[in-house]
Structures are given as structure tokens and as C-alpha cells.
Amino acid sequence: MNDVVHVLVVSSVTPALLQQMRSVSTRLLVEDGAALLLNVFGAALRPGQAPPQPPAEGSDLDEMLAQAEVILAPRRLPGDTLQRAPHLKWIQATSAGIDFLDNTGILETDIVLTTASGIHVVPMTEYVVTAILYFTKEVSRLMENKNSKSWDRFNLRELKGQTIGVIGLGNIGMEIARVTKALGMNVLGVRRSKPSVPVPFVDAVYRPSDLGTVLKASDFVALAVPITPETKHMIGEVQLREMRPNSVLINISRGSVVDEAALVVALKEGWIGGAALDVFEAEPLSLGSELWDLPNVFMTPHISALSDQYDDRAAGLFCENLRRYLAGDQLINQVDKSKGY
């Protein structure tokens, strides 16, 4: 079978990466619709992302969608993509989550969905380690001393022997476990199913029903779960009260995994020692949020996954999946729609 496969790239990539995709097979007709999609949404590019190439003369997003069999998509697509792309068979997301497809109807079809899970492993793990060191080495106090020119010497805690609870043992969670174990930490993990064999770098694995056991034992709790109906607000008042008074919550998953209102109370009243937050229930975070002013919060604007290697890794994954698609093989990171990831 040598039919032409129309591939629509609406994630902004460099000409070199577009050529890399086209070189996978002569059967591929790869079109660049990134600039046209950007015009529709008027959205800003991801920091460090290549600006889209000017659209070819006469190019039209409707025509591209009408022919597309495969789409490489950023975290946005027109809400009526399903109606405008009748030949669509597969969407490759450049993100680890597919919640941007909610309310499009695509999740209720047999269109294959694949994510970029795995390409964020290095930067997100490094972010978690940064957050752990920020609190363990009291970086905020050190910076205050520098700014006030205060020669204030004090003991710094060590990571070795402290315990981290990794909630979610997917690609990112497993790398967090590996790196923190290398730093001498005790590692507890939570995953949906209890493994039949020991999990590398994890001292003990628990089911979600035993989350409280992990929270009570952990100095740091790193959230690395997808957003599903089961994980929405999985960290609320009950769970925050189960954590240690000096423990730190690290959220790199999705903001709605945590009940933000309960978290603010927990931070203000000392139920927990601090929080490192890269994601929030509503983004950008409202200027009226109390989180901005809490001294025990380390926060960033949803950048833990960003890296100068992001586009290269995403393109490499897409090219491998294109080869598999043409060969009729199983795609990498194919979403189980019944689970939501």
C-alpha cells in the first residue's frame, strides 16, 4: 500500500525539523500549518520555541485539515477539528497530557492519540531536584542574607536519609525515583497497580488507596500523575493534614490535582512546611492569589517541562511514530482512552 499520507504539522518547528519529518518516507506529504493555527488562537509561543514559518502563498487551514490523516499538535486545536478533518486517523501531541482535547469529541472516537510522554523526563526530574534542594538548603534564607549583607552561618540539612514519596510511577516518576535514590534518599512510590516484582530505585510501592501511608512517611511529596477524574483534587484537606509539618509538596503534574484553596490554608497554618508549584488550577495564576505572597512557596509559570532540547526530542519521537504508522506497528505512547492517558 503506497497511498500518500497527509501530515499536518500545527506545532511550530524549525525548517530542519520539518525536513526531518519529510525524510521519513516519500509517502508522506507534510504540510506546515503552525502559522495559520497561531493566527486562529493568537497564542504566544512556548518559551524557546521556533517561530512559525510564514504560510505558503494560498495556503488555507481548512483545506489542510480537510486532507489531514495525521496531525502533530501543540496543546491546542480548533474545537471543531473533528468536523473539519474527516480523514483524521491519528493525533500526535507534543505534550504529555491530552486534556486539551476535552470537549472536542475526539476522545469519543477511534482516532488514535499518542503523547510526548518521556521527552520531558530530564527537565522535569531536574526541576524536582531543584525544588528539593531549594528547601533543604534554605536557598530563600541564603538569598535574604546576601541581599541584606548578613554573614549568618547556620547548619544546612542533607538530602541523604530523607524520604520522598513519588506519586505516579510513569516515565517521569521513575526517573525522579532513580535520581533521588542516587542522592541517598529513601523512595516510596504510588501507582495504580501493585507490581508483581520489585520496582527499580523504589523502596516500597503502594496503591492509591494507601496514599495516606506515603504522605505520613515522606519529607517530600512529588506529584507526577496525569489529570483524570480519579486524580482531580487527589491532594485536598484530608491529604494535606496527613503530611508532616515540615514536609514539602512538589507539583509538576496538573494544577487541578491539588485543591488549591486547601493548599493555601495548609501553607498558612503550618500543616506542611512548603510547596514547590509549577502548575495551578487556573493559569496564568491570578494576581489576587495568596500563593504569590507566601514565603514558604517556590513557584514557577508552568516551565518544568521546558528545555532547549524540547523540539528536537518531540520531532524525534514523532518521526519514529511516523515510521511505525506507515509499517502498521504499535505506536509509542498510545493513549488508553479508558484511563485518560
Query: Considering 144, 230, 269, 283, which one is annotated as catalytic?
Result: 283
Q: State the Cα–Cα distance between residues 162 and 165, nearest whole angstrom.
A: 10
Asked if 244 and 272 touch (Cβ cutoff 8 Å), the reply is yes
User: 87-109 in b/e burial notation, b at 16+ Cβ within 10 A?
Assistant: ebebbbbbbbbbbebeebebeee
Question: How far apart are alpha carbons 221 and 214 in whole angstroms?
Answer: 9
**Within the chain, how many helices (H) and strands (E) appear?**
11, 12
CB 144 within 8 A of CB 152: no
Residue 46's nearest CA partner among 311, 317, 314 is 311
Q: Which of 6, 254, 260, 281 is catalytic?
A: 254
Rounded distance between C-alpha atoms, residue 206 and residue 222, angstroms:
14
The answer to whether 153 is a known catalytic residue is no
**Known active-site residue 57:** no
Q: Which helix (H) or strand (E) holds 327?
A: helix 310-327
Whether residue 283 lies in the annotated active site:
yes
Between CA 96 and CA 120 the distance in angstroms is 8
d(CA 50, CA 133): 32
The residues carrying an active-site annotation are 254, 283, 302
